[in-house]
Amino acid sequence: MSETPSIFSRIIAGEVPADIVYDSERVIAFKDINPQAPVHLLVVPKTEEYANVAELAAGDPALLAEIVTTAQKLAFEHMNGQYRLIFNTGRDAGQTVYHVHAHVLGGGLSEGSLAS
């Protein structure tokens, strides 16, 4: 974990505005400010303890399951249940915030479209 709070922790704390679409005790979801698809949501755990999905899977598999379940719930609400779920791990894979998060994309994606 970084000594400086991530942008996601600042959103969770209410320090940075976001278009929040879901909020529970352990998970928050909001619209991506730089969408890569017609619908692009981020599902973020409220802990900064894990930088990537592998760390999360090893450290708290129940929280990972909650993120995936939340993504599916949001997909049914916003994308007729059809979605792409992406976890970026590492700079070369497009990860820019080292606070694990899932990209939930939908709304008319083509086979070649990706999230950064």
Cβ contact 42:101 at 8 Å: yes
Q: How many Cβ atoms are within 10 Å of 2's Cβ, its own excluded?
A: 11
Cβ contact 103:40 at 8 Å: yes
Closest by alpha carbon to 73, among 109, 43, 113? 43
Enzyme catalytic residues: 101
Cα 49 → chain centroid: 15
